[in-house]
């Protein structure tokens, strides 16, 4: 990679502190939370719409980085006052600088590059092509779905001299984005996947979206697309005519006039795809997989790659789960399941995810041979060892002949090596994995899913899936509504509204939440014991819990004099942070305003009690019908809080807005806001926000029965079908938190993309569904709530609120956390 001195002209930058030596850049870092391999690393500070990494320049410097790119106007010279031994280059835009650096790096290499874009299937087509070609080329590709304005340049920076084919996907959500990515990838051939509805809102029309995506292919000699989308075919046919040659090459399942005409035939659980005298079989029958496989096949044929030699690989096309899953394991352990891939890029991503959730757990990595790195074996495992060491991995279990041959490069406290997964399972005991966070990562051929199932805590088949990406998205959605200096307090009380405890708190802490709030001291203790260091407010401190609160550095809410006096006695002069609640009209907890003078007197007499914040609860901030009352509450609170702060003589954080209020009362943001139900994907206000549901409650079909119209179903004989049909018995009941008021057709569940009404009364452990007109079988997944039916729909069906549905999911239901 270049030196920062060489980059100055290309980036049109200005040195704030010039380099003292001409040092080549070894690594580019953009995230101040992920400071690995800092030697000769370049940190690029970026101010986004929600976060500004210039805020953390000192943290980056303290971690050992000495080369910086900063954005003009987004830092102060005072921030850099101690950076005299560092090199700092100022540019107009950090993302543009990153993209330019990646473009320069790309042009150091002459390898052929395939670019993939479209609305659906980009990542699957990329990963399937890599699966098919791993023995034919030395491949480099995007890790997982790194296809954004930042993800693409970071992916292209992976290119090294040994690579013989690059396969990169690119995604856009609005006009004028692809022209930034095209020179970075600079492809020689292009693949267009299905053009669907994703990101339609960012474009004037589907034709504009296609035109923007086509900008990726400006330097391509040929582009492959499916002509079965007639409007796409018409667009490219016109371009071919204008160009005077056939740059755009089509495939089709519907017509024989395409360059590559395919016929398909379903054979049980497989599909046979035929082109002339060539037939390939794939282990899928769904339309999306067939489409993606045809796209891959068209590319191979166009490139004149010998497909006959790849037929076994088509039979073994992997089911791709691009998500990192966090599950509860035996012996108080946590499991991160990434058991379907093994490459350096995805290993680094998985280790970063592990770091976010490790807390005080010791770290174990179970790793297989890496089969398609393109590096020499010794160099590959030295790189892996360096990654593990940088992430403070204490225990490594290597499985495979290659990793075993290179065991001397691994310096963990404990290392074990086995030639096969079978040998590992026969030699180890579950009890050897207590109180650890365990990353399971291996090439698909090693069948590491067997290890995951062995270590996973066994519970019944109903699960509550928590999408951590959606959680972070919702946090950032609300942050975008706030003034830059306003802090965020996140509600993680009541098991994070049913979503989890330390798992949720860790991802929030990693995303620099300012405060966490729990209901009771015990909840705070769990977070502290899990390694959470973020300030924690306790909303309902009980007098007997004050010793615990003091011991674990928790901060109690104080709302009446009795609690205040008890805390004074328990603290015995020890300094403790407290939060004062004022009642501005809700008539629940809080000091009355006429008690303010007395409160100030007591606080002044006990200076060891440090008021961290003063706040109030708004009774109906989400409802426009009560805006007059809400505005009066806000005015009352602001006046009282200002008086309290003035009398105390020091600054105190002030907050009154909840999720509904954040969206509707921007002038009342004060110093901090409290984010509760909105964080979990439920919008309590009428203002439209692009929130994402973070949770899906899922179960499975245990049995299917044929039922006559004259037969009754379930307890009390309250269930009947309108005519002869069939029911599915699913493995969820009221003991799992499914409300009995959903019985007898009030509620429905999603079975194979169709809603199936609940029949009869919900039982303790199971429920019956009418699936008369639904094609399904035992073991099929059933969605209780998620995208459809949504949690709002379920709550409306029984006349309650989403809070109750979320918090009602039983603790016996396994929570599975995933990060895409």
Summarize pLDDT for 332-345 with one digit per residue, the tens.
888 998 866 677 87
| For range 430-452, the mean pLDDT | 85
pLDDT band of residue 374 (cuts 50, 70, 90) is low
Q: How far apart are CA 494 and CA 174, in angstroms?
A: 39
Digit-coded pLDDT (tens) for 631-643: 999 999 999 999 9
Digit-coded pLDDT (tens) for 640-698: 999 999 999 999 999 999 999 999 999 999 999 999 999 989 898 888 999 998 889 99
Digit-coded pLDDT (tens) for 189-230: 999 999 987 667 788 898 999 999 999 999 999 999 999 999
**Predicted local distance difference test score (pLDDT) of residue 460:** 62
| For range 581-588, the mean pLDDT | 93
Residues of the chain with pLDDT > 70, as a percent, come to 97
**Predicted local distance difference test score (pLDDT) of residue 340:** 64
Note whether 90 and 14 are within 8 A (CB). Answer: yes
* Domains of the chain (ranges, CATH numbers): 4-98 (3.40.1390.10), 109-315 (3.40.1190.10), 324-458 (3.90.190.20), 467-680 (3.20.20.10), 695-819 (2.40.37.10)
Q: Which residues of 498-507 are buried (b: 16+ CB within 10 A; e: fewer)?
A: bbbbbbbbbb
Max mean pLDDT range (281-285, 428-432, 599-603):
599-603
**Predicted local distance difference test score (pLDDT) of residue 495:** 59
| For range 492-514, the mean pLDDT | 79
Digit-coded pLDDT (tens) for 459-500: 568 989 888 889 999 999 999 999 989 999 999 986 566 566
**Predicted local distance difference test score (pLDDT) of residue 365:** 96
| For range 524-550, the mean pLDDT | 92
Max mean pLDDT range (78-82, 358-362, 550-554, 686-690):
550-554
**Predicted local distance difference test score (pLDDT) of residue 388:** 94
**Predicted local distance difference test score (pLDDT) of residue 433:** 86
Query: Three-class SS string for 349-385?
Result: HHHHHHHHHHCCCEEEEEEECCCCCCCCHHHHHHHHH
| For range 9-14, the mean pLDDT | 92
Catalytic option among 221, 238, 529, 715: 715
**Predicted local distance difference test score (pLDDT) of residue 496:** 61
Q: How far apart are CA 253 and CA 264, in angstroms?
A: 7
**Predicted local distance difference test score (pLDDT) of residue 500:** 66
Of 619, 626, 615, residue with least CA distance to 674: 615
Note whether 406 and 381 are within 8 A (CB). Answer: yes
Catalytic option among 493, 515, 803, 817: 493
Residue 493 among the catalytic residues:
yes
| For range 352-376, the mean pLDDT | 84
pLDDT band of residue 372 (cuts 50, 70, 90) is low
- Please give the mean pLDDT across all residues of the chain: 91
Note whether 602 and 561 are within 8 A (CB). Answer: yes
Predicted TM-score (pTM) of this structure: 0.75
* pLDDT at residue 373 is higher than 70: no
* pLDDT at residue 576 is higher than 80: yes
Q: The tokens of 427 are what?
A: 């030699």
- More reliable by pLDDT, 749 or 245: 749
**137 backbone dihedrals φ, ψ, rounded to 5°:** -130, 160
pLDDT band of residue 713 (cuts 50, 70, 90) is very high
């Amino acid at each position: 990679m270049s030196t920062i001195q060489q980059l100055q002209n290309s980036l049109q930058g200005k040195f704030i502190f010039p380099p003292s030596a001409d040092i080549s850049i070894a690594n580019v870092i953009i995230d101040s939370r992920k400071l690995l391999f800092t030697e000769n690393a370049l940190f690029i500070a970026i101010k986004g719409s929600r976060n500004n990494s210039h805020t953390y320049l000192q943290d980056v410097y303290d971690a050992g980085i000495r080369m910086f790119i900063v954005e003009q106007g987004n830092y102060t010279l005072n921030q850099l006052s101690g950076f005299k031994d560092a090199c700092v280059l100022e540019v107009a835009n950090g993302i543009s600088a990153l993209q330019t650096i990646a473009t320069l790096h790309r042009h150091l290499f002459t390898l052929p590059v395939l670019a993939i874009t479209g609305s659906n299937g980009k990542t699957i087509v990329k990963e399937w092509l890599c699966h098919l070609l791993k023995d034919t080329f030395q491949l480099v590709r995007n890790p997982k779905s790194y296809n954004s304005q930042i993800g693409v340049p970071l992916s292209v920076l992976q290119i090294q001299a040994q690579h013989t084919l690059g396969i990169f996907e690119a995604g856009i959500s609005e006009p004028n984005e692809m022209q930034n990515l095209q020179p970075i990838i600079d492809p020689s051939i292009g693949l267009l996947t299905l053009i669907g509805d994703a990101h339609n809102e960012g474009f004037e029309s589907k034709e504009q979206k296609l035109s923007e995506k086509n900008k990726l292919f400006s330097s391509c000699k040929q582009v492959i697309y499916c002509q079965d989308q007639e409007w796409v075919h018409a667009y490219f046919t016109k371009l071919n005519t204008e160009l005077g040659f056939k740059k755009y090459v089509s495939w089709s399942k519907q017509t024989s006039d395409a360059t590559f005409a395919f016929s398909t035939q379903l054979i049980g659980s497989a599909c046979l795809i035929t082109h002339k005298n060539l037939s390939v079989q794939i282990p899928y029958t769904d339309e999306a997989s067939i489409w993606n496989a045809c796209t891959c096949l068209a590319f191979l044929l166009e490139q004149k790659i010998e497909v006959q030699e790849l037929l076994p690989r088509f039979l073994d096309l992997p089911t791709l789960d691009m998500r990192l899953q966090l599950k509860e394991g035996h012996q108080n352990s946590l499991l991160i399941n990434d058991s379907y891939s093994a490459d350096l890029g995805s290993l680094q991503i998985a280790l970063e995810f592990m770091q976010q959730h490790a807390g005080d757990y010791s770290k174990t990595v179970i790793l297989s041979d890496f089969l398609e790195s393109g590096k020499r074996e010794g160099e590959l495992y030295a790189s892996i060892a360096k990654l593990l060491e940088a992430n403070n991995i204490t225990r490594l279990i290597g499985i495979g002949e290659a990793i075993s041959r290179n065991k001397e490069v691994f310096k963990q406290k404990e290392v074990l090596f086995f030639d096969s997964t079978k040998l590992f399972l026969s030699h180890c005991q579950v009890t050897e994995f207590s109180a650890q966070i365990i990353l399971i990562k291996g090439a698909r051929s090693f069948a590491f899913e067997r290890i995951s199932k062995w270590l996973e805590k066994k519970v019944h088949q109903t699960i509550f899936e928590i999408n951590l990406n959606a959680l972070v998205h919702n946090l950032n959605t609300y942050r975008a509504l706030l003034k830059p200096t306003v802090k965020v307090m996140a509600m993680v009380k009541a098991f994070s509204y049913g979503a989890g405890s330390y798992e949720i708190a860790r991802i929030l802490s990693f995303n620099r939440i300012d405060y966490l709030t729990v209901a009771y001291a015990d909840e705070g203790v769990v977070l502290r014991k899990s390694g959470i260091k973020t300030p924690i407010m306790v909303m309902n401190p009980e007098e007997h819990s004050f010793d615990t609160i003091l011991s674990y550095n928790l901060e109690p809410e104080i709302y009446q004099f009795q609690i205040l006096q008890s805390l004074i006695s328990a603290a015995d002069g020890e300094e403790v942070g407290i939060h004062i609640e004022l009642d501005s009209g809700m008539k629940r907890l809080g000091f009355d305003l006429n008690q303010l003078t007395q409160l100030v007197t007591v606080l002044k007499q006990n200076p060891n009690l440090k008021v961290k914040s003063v706040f109030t609860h708004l009774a109906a901030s989400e409802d426009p019908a009560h805006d007059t009352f809400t505005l009066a509450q806000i005015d009352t609170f602001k006046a009282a809080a200002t008086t309290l702060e003035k009398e105390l003589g020091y600054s105190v954080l002030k907050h009154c807005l909840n999720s509904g209020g954040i969206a509707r009362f921007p002038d009342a943001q004060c110093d901090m806001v409290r984010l509760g139900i909105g964080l979990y994907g439920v919008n309590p206000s009428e203002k439209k926000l692009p929130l994402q549901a973070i949770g899906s409650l899922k179960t499975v079909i245990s049995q299917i029965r044929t039922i006559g119209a004259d037969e009754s179903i379930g307890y009390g004989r309250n269930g009947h079908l309108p005519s002869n049909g069939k029911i599915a018995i699913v493995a969820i009941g009221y003991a799992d938190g499914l409300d009995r008021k959903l019985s007898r057709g009030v509620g429905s569940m999603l079975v194979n993309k169709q809603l199936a009404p609940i029949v009869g009364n919900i039982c303790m452990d199971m429920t019956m569904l009418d699936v008369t007109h639904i094609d399904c079988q035992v073991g099929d997944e059933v969605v209780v709530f998620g995208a459809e039916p949504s949690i709002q729909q379920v709550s409306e069906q029984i006349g309650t609120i989403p809070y109750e549905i979320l918090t009602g999911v039983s603790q016996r239901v396994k929570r599975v956390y995933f990060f895409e």
